[in-house]
């Protein structure tokens, strides 16, 4: 069984974390995976390790980590690979993989254009 974990920075503003949870839920449904959840950088919870443990406890055999960051910054270059490697060592029975970041995906420009068009229409 495959689980999708949307990995984000996390925020002290809980509504921001709830927004990430909503995207994870919708993405999981659209991707057709059995389980979907979130993980955040410390000090926010669940951490990736906590989320992987939760998914394993629910029967996941594979975990796909999707970085929810717009740019390929320090967290994606340094922190996330280390955190994923630690989780893989802790849960050797699970296959854990990470997707490329959102950075560079062609649909990002479409999202920006959609937001701009909506704002421009409000000016008219």
Contact status, residue 35 vs residue 28, Cβ threshold 8 Å: yes
Closest Cα partner for 99 from 79, 78, 86, 80? 80
Question: For residue 107, what are its two tokens?
Answer: 């649909």
Q: What is the pLDDT of residues 12-49, one digit of tens each?
A: 999 999 999 999 999 999 999 989 999 998 889 999 99
Q: What is the pLDDT of residues 85-122, one digit of tens each?
A: 999 899 999 999 988 888 888 898 888 898 899 999 88
Would you give the end-to-end CA distance of the chain in angstroms?
50
Please give the model's pTM, rounded to 2 decimal places: 0.87
């Amino acid at each position: 069984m495959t689980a999708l974990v949307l990995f984000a920075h996390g925020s002290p503003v809980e509504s921001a974390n709830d927004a990430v949870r909503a995207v994870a839920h919708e993405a999981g449904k659209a991707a057709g995976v059995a389980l979907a959840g979130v993980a955040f950088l410390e000090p926010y919870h669940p951490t990736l390790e906590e989320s992987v443990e939760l998914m394993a406890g629910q029967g996941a055999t594979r975990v796909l980590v999707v970085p929810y960051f717009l740019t390929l910054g320090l967290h994606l270059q340094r922190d996330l690979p280390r955190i994923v490697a630690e989780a893989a060592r802790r849960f050797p029975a699970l296959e854990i993989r990470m997707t490329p970041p959102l950075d560079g995906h062609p649909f990002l420009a479409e999202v920006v254009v959609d937001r701009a068009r909506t704002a421009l229409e409000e000016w008219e």
